Amino acid sequence: MTQGAFLAINSDEDTIARNTGFFIAVLQCAGIFGNTFSYFQFKDSYEIAESTKNIFITGIIIVTCIGVALNLLVIPMTWAKDGEYHNFKCKLED
């Protein structure tokens, strides 16, 4: 629900298909890469070592932070007036 609302708010008729396709591609890749990462971290383990847990959690946190940063760069700033900054990245460039 939240992702659909996010896509609807930040898309128009020209960009909704592109944004939806991009979202679904990222979602599917996240599942594939995340499951592959956890498979190799936890394979052949009956008990998970503390160091393995820390590596796994650190990896998840890093990927999450990268995703949040990318969202900040591409989300249109709906509160900006026309002719002003289109997204956070444009504001940083000034």
pLDDT surpasses 70 at 4 = yes
pLDDT at 58: 92
Q: Quick check: 88 and 72 in contact, CB under 8 A?
A: yes
pLDDT surpasses 60 at 87 = no
Structure tokens at 79: 């509160």
Give the residue among 7, 4, 5 at the shortest CA–CA distance from 19: 7
pLDDT at 62: 92
What global pTM score does this model have? 0.54
Give the chain's mean pLDDT: 76
Report, as an integer, the average pLDDT of 41-50: 83
Question: What is the domain range of residue 31?
Answer: 2-93
- Indicate the number of domains in the chain: 1
